[in-house]
Amino acid sequence: MTVETTEAAKAAEPRVRRVLIADLGAHLGEAVHVRGWLHAIRSLGRTNFVILRDGSGLIQIVTPAERLAQLGPLESSVAVEALVSADPRAPLGVELTEPRFAMLAPASGPPLIDLTKPHLPGGLPFLLDHASVALRHPTRREAARLSSALVRGFRSELEALGFQEVFTPKILGTATEGGAHVFPLDYFGRPAFLAQSPQFYKQMLVGAFERVYEVGPVFRAEPHDTARHLSQYTSLDAELGFIDSWRDVAAVLAHVMAAMMASAHTAVPSVAVPAVPETLPMVHFQDALQLAGRGLGENLDGEPDLAPAHERWLSEWAAREHGSDFLLVVGYPLAHRPFYTHPDPEHPGCSASFDLLFRGQEIVTGGQRLHRYTDYLAALAARGFDAAPYQSYLEAFRTGMPAHGGFAIGLERVVQKILGAANIREVCLFPRDVHRLQP
C-alpha cells in the first residue's frame, strides 16, 4: 500500500523549471526552459527568427537555418532550451538565442487560419466556426484580457464599497422582465425559463445584505440578428439599499465605471481606454429627444425611447460639448420601463431611471426601484399583470424593504466599444445568437 504526499504542494510548478515568456527579462544571460506554440517564422536574409507564444506573451528566438527544418507546422507545441540575450529593440528587452527545440504536440498541418497577420483573415462566421484556432490570435487574446480587467475593476470597487458578491438562480419559474424573449426550459417535466437578469434576486438580497453584486450570464431570446445583440451575455449587476434617490445609484455607477476603465488601462496598456470624467454629463430624456431631433432634423416629440441613431448622435454631442465618451440619459418614460421602476417624483410620467450611453450605444441600464408592497400591486395591476406568480418576490417588500436601486452593465458591449469592434461577436469567446449554437 502506498500513501504518498503531493511533492512540494506549495510550489505551483514543482516539476517544471519552466520560465514564462513575460518573465524572461529577469533571466538575462541565463539558460532557460520555455514552452509554447510556434506562432510565426520570419527569415531575414541569413537570420531566421522563430516567434514563440505562450499564455503570457511572445518572444523572438534567433534560430539557425538547419534547425528550422526540425520544427513542425506553425501552432505546434514545443519546449525550448535557450539562452536569454539582450535585444534593446524587443518589447521585453531580450530575445532567445542558441535554441534546442523539442516537439511536445505537433499540429496536424498548417493552421486553418493564418494567425501571423495583424488582423485575422476570413469572414466572421468562418472565424467563429473555428474559434479554437481564431482565439489564439493576439487581437482575440487582447479582447479577453480587456474583459477580465474590466470585471476585476468592477469587483474591486464594489468590494471596497462593502458590496456582497452573490450567486443567483438562472432557472426561473417566473419570467422577470415581462415574459418576452425568454428561453423556455423543461425542468423535470415542468415549464421554466432562463433568467433574463438577476433583477428580482438582487432586490430581494438588498433586504439581507443591503449592497450586493453579481457577475454572471444572462439569457435573452433576442430575435434580432444585429451587430450588438447576443443571446447570452455577461451582466455586471449591482444593487444597493438605503438610498435617497436614483442619484445615489448614478454616483456609485460613476465610481464603478471609473474603476473599470482604470483597471483596463493598467492591464492592457496597448489599448486606448477612455477616461471617465470627474463629473458625468447628464441629460434628461425629454431634452435628449429635443437635442437629437434638432440635430438630426427630425420631430421626435412623444417618442418612447431613443433609437440607435439618436444614441449615436447624443454621444457625438456629449463628446463635442462635454469632452466625454459617456452620457447619462435620465427620466425615461415610466410606461416604457419595467414594472418595478420607481417614478421620478420631480417629473410626472417620468421614471427615476437612466441609461448610460458610451460611444453611441447604451451599455448600462439602472435606476431606483419601487420598494413598497402596495406600489408593486398597483404597478402590476396598471399593466394588467397577475400578481400571483410574483408572490415570493413581492413578499420581500412587506418586510421593511428600504428605498433601493441598482444597475446592470453589459460587459461585451463595453469591450466592443472600447476596441471599436464592428461586431459584438468579435469580443465574445463563443457567442450565442439566433443562428449560432456551436462551438
- Angle made by CA atoms 410, 329, 427, in degrees to the nearest 5: 20
Contact criterion met (CB below 8 Å) for 142 and 273:
no
Q: Smallest distance from the beta carbon of 201 to a second copy, in angstroms?
A: 6
- Angle made by CA atoms 83, 88, 94, in degrees to the nearest 5: 25
Distance CA 159, CA 352 (A): 25
Q: Smallest distance from the beta carbon of 93 to a second copy, in angstroms?
A: 20
Distance CA 4, CA 322 (A): 66
Distance CA 159, CA 202 (A): 16
Q: Which is nearer to a second copy, 65 or 103 (CB)?
A: 103
Q: Which is nearer to a second copy, 86 or 217 (CB)?
A: 217
Q: Which is nearer to a second copy, 86 or 301 (CB)?
A: 301
Q: Smallest distance from the beta carbon of 220 to a second copy, in angstroms?
A: 11
Distance CA 147, CA 271 (A): 12
Give the rounded distance of the alpha carbon of 122 from its chain centre. Answer: 24
Across the strands, what pairs with 356?
A: 328, 364
- Cell output for 68: 528550422
Q: Smallest distance from the beta carbon of 152 to a second copy, in angstroms?
A: 8
Q: Which is nearer to a second copy, 45 or 244 (CB)?
A: 244
What sign does the CA torsion over 259, 264, 266, 269 have?
negative
Q: Smallest distance from the beta carbon of 332 to a second copy, in angstroms?
A: 16
Q: Which is nearer to a second copy, 258 or 409 (CB)?
A: 258
Q: Which is nearer to a second copy, 32 or 401 (CB)?
A: 401
Q: Smallest distance from the beta carbon of 384 to a second copy, in angstroms?
A: 22
Distance CA 135, CA 115 (A): 9
